[in-house]
Amino acid sequence: SQTIHQWPATLVQPVGSPLSLECTVEGTSNPNLYWYRQAAGRGLQLLFYSVGIGQISSEVPQNLSASRPQDRQFILSSKKLLLSDSGFYLCAWTGAGTEAFFGQGTRLTVV
Amino acid sequence: AQSVSQHNHHVILSEAASLELGCNYSYGGTVNLFWYVQYPGQHLQLLLKYFSGDPLVKGIKGFEAEFIKSKFSFNLRKPSVQWSDTAEYFCAVNAGGGADGLTFGKGTHLIIQP
């Protein structure tokens, strides 16, 4: 069966520090991969999606970037974190014509 | 681009009450529709989905939803709620089954009082 791993679960980082959140999927090939940010009362906002290795689409301009170095690996990064980057980040995957499956999420607090 | 509107941000019900959470979307073409639930401290999980066929879909834990194309709606229902249904509920739409992800509503925080 397919599983999705996302880590770390919580992270506290100072302003201006770099960020790297990792997500891996097991049990499927060539998944579509997504990074969402969830804010209280605002639902889930799609940040990036990828349909293949090295293919990244950005939905909103921001201080973050994403990369897909391997088929089942999706990384969310920042060179210098801002206070406004605090939030709950979710990784998800879909297959062809399926619903999205979500990771456990990362609570990022920028201080 | 598609958008999703959930009518109620906070709903408080007593156990055994009936539930209906509204969801409307804006997109003129074929859509895939979803309801997700997030229980306290847990990850998002799928309640039910509509891709095609019977517009009344049944999901887990006694939930159902009805797709009304003419109203661009996909309301979630449960005849009798339980305390364990306390959670955040999200409606989501994927336009035409594309790979560009789901668009979510802002969520409804449901509290069931014993």
**The pLDDT of residue A59:** 82
Averaged confidence pLDDT in chain A: 91
Q: Quick check: A109 pLDDT over 80? A: yes
- Model pLDDT for residues B57-68, shown as the tens digit of each residue: 999 999 999 999
**The pLDDT of residue B98:** 73
pLDDT level of residue B101 (50, 70, 90 thresholds): confident
**Chain position carrying tokens 């039910």:** B48
Q: Quick check: A61 pLDDT over 80? A: no
B15 neighbors B114 (Cβ within 8 angstroms) = yes
Peptide bond into A8 cis (omega under 30): yes
Copy the structure tokens of residue A69: 């170095």
Closest C-alpha to B3, from B21, B27, B28? B27
Residues of B within an 8 Å Cβ radius of A: 4, 6, 9, 32, 34, 36, 43-46, 49, 51, 90, 92, 97, 99-107
Does B90 sit within 8 Å of A90, measured CB to CB? Answer: no
What are the CA-CA distances from residue B105 to residues B34, B40, B89 (Å)?
11, 18, 9
| Nearest CA-CA distance, residue B44 and chain A, Å | 6
Preferred mutation among A44, A49, A56 to probe B, highest tally of B CBs within 10 A: A44
pLDDT level of residue A60 (50, 70, 90 thresholds): confident
Q: Quick check: B77 pLDDT over 80? A: yes
- Model pLDDT for residues A9-32, shown as the tens digit of each residue: 999 999 999 999 999 999 988 999
For B39, phi then psi, to 5°, come to -75, 155
A2 neighbors A30 (Cβ within 8 angstroms) = no
Neighbours of A8 (CB within 10 A): 11
**Chain position carrying tokens 């499927």:** A28
Residues of A within an 8 Å Cβ radius of B: 32, 34, 36, 41-46, 49, 51, 57, 59, 90, 92, 94, 97, 99-105
- Model pLDDT for residues B5-33, shown as the tens digit of each residue: 998 899 999 999 999 999 999 987 888 99
Average pLDDT over residues B50-78: 95
DSSP-derived letter for residue B102 is P
Whole-angstrom Cα distance, residue A74 to residue B16? 43
pLDDT level of residue A96 (50, 70, 90 thresholds): confident
**The pLDDT of residue A97:** 66
Q: Quick check: B2 pLDDT over 90? A: no
Whole-angstrom Cα distance, residue B90 to residue B35? 6
Q: Where is mean pLDDT largest: A36-40, B7-11, B26-30, B108-112?
A: B108-112
- Count of all residues that appear for chain A in the document: 111
Of the two residues B99 and B77, the one the predictor is more confident about is: B77
Q: Calculate what percentage of chain A has a pLDDT beyond 90.
A: 76
